[in-house]
Structure 1
Amino acid sequence: MLIGEIYSTIIYCFATFGLFSNFFLIWLILRYTMKEMQVYSKILLQTCFVDIVGICMFVVSQPAYLSDNGVGTMWSYGPIHFLPNPWQFILVSINNFMMRVTSMNVSTLFIYRYFTVVRKVDLKFKHQLLLIFGLIIPIFILFIFSYVSNGPTPENEYLTNLELARKLELDNYTIEHYVVGLRARTNDLSIFTSNYASALTIINYIIIIFCGISIQIHVYRYCKGVEMTKLRNMNKQMSIVLGAQVNNCGKGVHLFII
């Protein structure tokens, strides 16, 4: 299974980097956080913990996406492929949910900085938690739609396409005894779920770009002296967070087989 081994190796490399970056940032926050940055540091800590959970879920899933005669299908190279359905599908759905949450967490950091730096709003940690909760709601709705529309059934949970099995380098025993983790049905709900997921991704990037540009313009025009030093310290922590999010690129480097 050369394809699976190479794919798993790439995932482990990204996961190792992501875990190291997150634990390193946690250590920096706990050791060097200044009093005036405690709220921001709490936000970074919850971001790190969520990202660590997301990385672990992706490692145990290791999804490979493929098209089985036009039906979207997911095969797991990770340990969860030993599980029957619905347990495997539940873990796959949780993995997809955590990927969305980790990306959303980055946008909440930008929103927090936008309101505190540009709008001069005194945000508390409870306000950030409310913001996170508000952004999780549409992701949770996506989770429900995906669970309903993409769950394998006893009739289609086994991979019967021998050509795809050959591309995945699966032997006959694996095909006969293990099931796929996801089957996207070709109905209106599945199409709506796909479009809804794409819309959430676009909105997330729009938030990051808008807040990032607004912060840069404000800092360039108005921030001097001590305020600039504080922003630089926040930027250092933000840089490590964004560096840790490179593992999300690793989680985005899914194996696609057509």
Structure 2
Amino acid sequence: MADQISEHEDALIELFLCLDLADLAVCSRVCRRWHALLSNGNSSIWENQFYVLVPEKMQKSELLEALPSYQAKVQAYCFAWNPNDCSKNISIKDDGFTFHRRPVPQSTDAARTRKGFTSGRHCWEVWWEKPFGSHALVGVATQNAPLQQRGYISLVGMNRYSWGWNLSDNKLWHGGKTVGSYPRNLAITCQKGERVRAVLDMDRGTLSFEKGDRFLGVAFADLPTDAPLYPIVSSVYGETEVCLIYKGCPLDG
């Protein structure tokens, strides 16, 4: 009996090795057994996806090497910066998780990730490797949000298509105006090199943030859930570099 189960699982693995991510996602919902098999993030299935999908120059990224499984690395790649969806003044470095803003005066520039979210709970970490400047915003946006504008502005949150937290002055932005200070009732300052964790709940329509082991509260509620929302960052400081790494479903408690 055990041999039959092993042979069955071997056959399933051979099948799964031939599928792409979208098909694997469907298979994981077929039954508990398939879900359990695909939940092994270090299986040959996810190892294969890693080497097929992730460019060789990204595979040895220190940020990827710190993740616990091949599945986590594949997910991080899927939600890395999109070199085809960023300001012309931004370039994505070879690691895929860091963008560099060129020193262009009187310009605010942004970048979005490769994929957005339509359901579920997700978290990612963002940090500046160099100074913030006056406008350093992290948040979410739809595909309609602009990625470059003249002047030094809070580009994430400048219209109805994006929601942003300015780490430079702790103001929340949406619809072209400030909509409050954040975090509320907490004295928090962010510095270059310090990681901020964004927590997006697409089922409840909320965006929250954490710093270290502190939950900072809900920043935005009533987010739209009828279109994908993408992690986004905008910056104004010349030669600044911003890193983003997707961490999966947030751990509560």
Higher helix share: 1
Higher strand share: 2
Specify which structure has the bigger relative contact order, considering alpha-carbon pairs within 8 angstroms and separated by 6 or more residues: 1
Same fold (TM over 0.5): no
Pick the structure with greater CA Rg: 1
Normalising by structure 1, what TM-score?
Answer: 0.23
